[in-house]
Amino acid sequence: MDHNIAKIRHDYHLKGLREQDLNADPLKQFRLWFDEAIASGIFEANAMLLSTVADGRPSGRIVLLKDLDETGFSFFTNYLSKKGKQMAANPQAALTFFWKELERQVRVEGWIKKTTDFESDEYFSIRPRGSQIGAWVSAQSEIIPDRAYLEEKTREIDTKYEGMNVPRPPFWGGYRLIPDYIEFWQGRPSRLHDRLVYTRSERGLWEIERLSP
């Protein structure tokens, strides 16, 4: 069946977003929206697009938010992966959340820092054993011969740590994006969406402005 992509359209109408609706702290405001997304039963509401840049070329992929505190947004991955190498070369990155059921999007920009070893160890310890073994197996982003290679490596690592706790690989851990820009987008009719953005000033204070849709 042929589909006319240009005619795919949905008009947004659930809610509006006013300046007086916002918390003065964008991380607290994000928490409010995130909790609503969780309560709405959205599948993997913590899924986010991580965008990085190296040598002037942008790259994006979906990762999962694993912690949120007063300093920023944390996620975990292989330090030697493509994104890990890009963040090492250019520690500026962006996150995008899209909760279509709530007609909402949040865009976050800021600086990347590794989490502490303690934080990485703590999170790794609560991962399912299969995921812990997978962290050792996957030389993320590297070319491999076939699926059988992964399955054989999995058996090797599983045997190596049989009856033991799986330690965190030294090449695996967490990153925290410390934001200086957070935009809250609420869909509205006729594409006249509400866009309210927090920008961190040189004094470290958050300023709120409305953007044209």
76 known ligand binder: yes
Mean pLDDT of the chain: 96
Contact between 151 and 212 under an 8 Å Cβ cutoff? The reply is no
Whether 161 is covered by a domain: the verdict is no
* 5 has a pLDDT exceeding 90: no
> 125, 190, 131, 196: which is closest to 158 by C-alpha?
131
**What's the whole-number mean pLDDT along residues 46-65?**
97
107 known ligand binder: no
57 known ligand binder: no
141 known ligand binder: yes
62 known ligand binder: yes
Share of the chain above pLDDT 70, in %: 99
Whether 186 is covered by a domain: the verdict is yes
In angstroms, how far is CA 94 from the centroid of its own chain? 8
pTM of the model: 0.94
What's residue 9's pLDDT? Answer: 82
What's residue 1's pLDDT? Answer: 58
> 31, 185, 4: which is closest to 100 by C-alpha?
185
**What's the whole-number mean pLDDT along residues 5-11?**
84
61 known ligand binder: yes
> 75, 79, 68, 27: which is closest to 50 by C-alpha?
75
Whether 163 is covered by a domain: the verdict is no
Whether 90 is covered by a domain: the verdict is yes
| Domain limits for position 31 | 9-125+171-211
**What's the whole-number mean pLDDT along residues 171-176?**
98
Q: How many residues does the chain have?
A: 213
Long-range contacts of 33-40 (CB under 8 A, 24+ apart): 33/99, 33/102, 33/104, 33/106, 33/184, 34/68, 34/97, 36/102, 37/99, 37/101, 37/102, 37/104, 40/99, 40/101, 40/102
CATH number for the domain harbouring residue 188: 2.30.110.10
**What's the whole-number mean pLDDT along residues 100-117?**
98
* 177 has a pLDDT exceeding 80: yes
More confident site: 168 or 14: 168
Element holding 181 (H helix, E strand)? strand 172-186
Instruction: Name the residue type at position 178.
Output: I
* 48 has a pLDDT exceeding 70: yes
What's residue 180's pLDDT? Answer: 98
* 110 has a pLDDT exceeding 70: yes
Residues designated as active site: 191
Whether 2 is covered by a domain: the verdict is no
Whether 143 is covered by a domain: the verdict is no
185 known ligand binder: yes
**What's the whole-number mean pLDDT along residues 104-117?**
98
66 known ligand binder: yes
What's residue 2's pLDDT? Answer: 66
Whether 137 is covered by a domain: the verdict is no
* 199 has a pLDDT exceeding 90: yes
**What's the whole-number mean pLDDT along residues 72-87?**
98
Total structural domains within the chain: 1
Whether 183 is covered by a domain: the verdict is yes
